Amino acid sequence: MTMQGDKLERDILLLFKRACRQHRLDVAEHLLCALEAAQEKSADQKRLREAYLVLGQTTR
């Protein structure tokens, strides 16, 4: 993963978390799809796992 790609994933995750906090699950869904696409070629899936944890906490 390039530094630019890593920053993109980090930025997507930050926006995803914000959307979840604001209960904008419609927006969060799109950001999660973007994060999944970005992480598809990455061996490190930590940001995607973190997003799923946030989503699980948001929907409780």
Domain span at 52? 3-58
> Of 17, 19, 16, whose CA–CA distance to 33 is shortest?
16
pLDDT classification of 58: cutoffs 50, 70, 90:
confident
Query: Which pLDDT does position 43 carry in this prediction?
Result: 78
- Position 1 scores a pLDDT of 57
Residue range 11-35, pLDDT digits in tens: 999 999 999 999 999 999 999 999 9
Using DSSP's 3-state secondary structure scheme, residue 43 falls into: coil
Sign of CA dihedral 50, 24, 5, 37: positive
Rounded CA separation 60/23 (Å): 12
How many domains does one find in the chain?
1
**Rounded mean pLDDT of 5-13?**
91
Share of the chain above pLDDT 90, in %: 73
